[in-house]
Amino acid sequence: MRQIFKVISTLAGLIFTCQALADNPVWSASGFKLPESVEYDAAHDRFYVSNVNGGVMEQDGNGSISLLDGSGKLIDVDWITGLHSPKGLALHKNKLYVADVKQLVVINVESGKLVARYEASDSRVLNGIAVNKEGKVFVSDWTGNRIYTLADGELKIWLENPELNSPNGLWVDNTRLYVASWGKNPKDDFTTETSGNIKKISLKTKQIETLDHEGQWLNLDGISRYAKNKWLVSDFLKGEILLINKSGHIEKSLPSKKSSADFYYIPEKHLLVVPLLMNNQVVAYKVD
């Protein structure tokens, strides 16, 4: 009984600590237009934020990219305009890649100019982006159950499989692509028929492995490596940031707010920067 009480007390303390973190962000910025993704630019010590500003599948020309300084001060909510419903962001050298419904858009961050658009006319809604060290770009097609790559100046289907389970956020290393899946058949209210989970895909064979999970209902959006064999993921509908180990078990949960989307984690600063889509905010938490 004493051991059980000790476990319960430990869990209660963990929940309290995580809630305290969520209630006391390092900084918070407002004034966005349905912010979906955040990307950090270490060379310029600033953040880029994508604004959907409408329906997630709409090609309405209302979308934009915001610019924040390294302390979280909003510099320009419409730093880059002329986009539709931009979501995932990934920075490689001086190029910011943006998933924009049926296009991959490229922005030169030095000039602040849009320099390329790559069409994926057969896609449903491009969402997450990851770029490896060699500059190979991967883009998820959320409800299309596809992963695209940019090759020879074209967006090409790299993998198409229902087992992708509505792929959203992406993270890539030298051997594998990791996918935060949303769940089967997203509805208009974003709920799904099945829970989402984490996929691990071999870059060489394209074989898909699925990490087990503990039974919690997960609608995963962003994903980032936290440590060896540990992952941070955002559960959009619950409004939580989860620390998940290699077995798929949730080790910790940071309560945030509903619509916690495609976050960015800066390991050197232990800083987690989360866009809150429905709150039109971006918040930063200190995590250890």
Provide mean pLDDT across the span 134-163: 96
Q: What is the DSSP letter of 47?
A: E
Provide mean pLDDT across the span 182-201: 93
Type of residue found at 277: L
What pLDDT is attached to residue 13?
42
Provide mean pLDDT across the span 159-179: 97
Give the contacts of 66 (CB within 8 A, at least 6 positions apart): 32, 35, 48, 49, 50, 51, 74, 75, 76, 77, 78, 79
Least confident of 8-22, 87-101, 132-146: 8-22
Provide mean pLDDT across the span 124-142: 96
Q: Give phi and psi for 176, each to the nearest 5.
A: -140, 150
> Which CATH class, in words, describes the domain spanning 2-286?
mainly beta
Residues 45-101: pLDDT tens digits?
999 999 999 988 888 999 999 999 999 999 999 999 999 999 999 999 999 999 999
Question: If you average pLDDT over every residue of the chain, what do you get?
Answer: 91
What pLDDT is attached to residue 24?
80
Provide mean pLDDT across the span 1-29: 53
What pLDDT is attached to residue 14?
42
Provide mean pLDDT across the span 107-112: 97
Instruction: Kindly report the pTM of this predicted structure.
Output: 0.91
Domain boundaries, the chain: 2-286
What percent of the chain has a predicted confidence (pLDDT) above 90? 82
Q: What is the DSSP letter of 269?
A: G
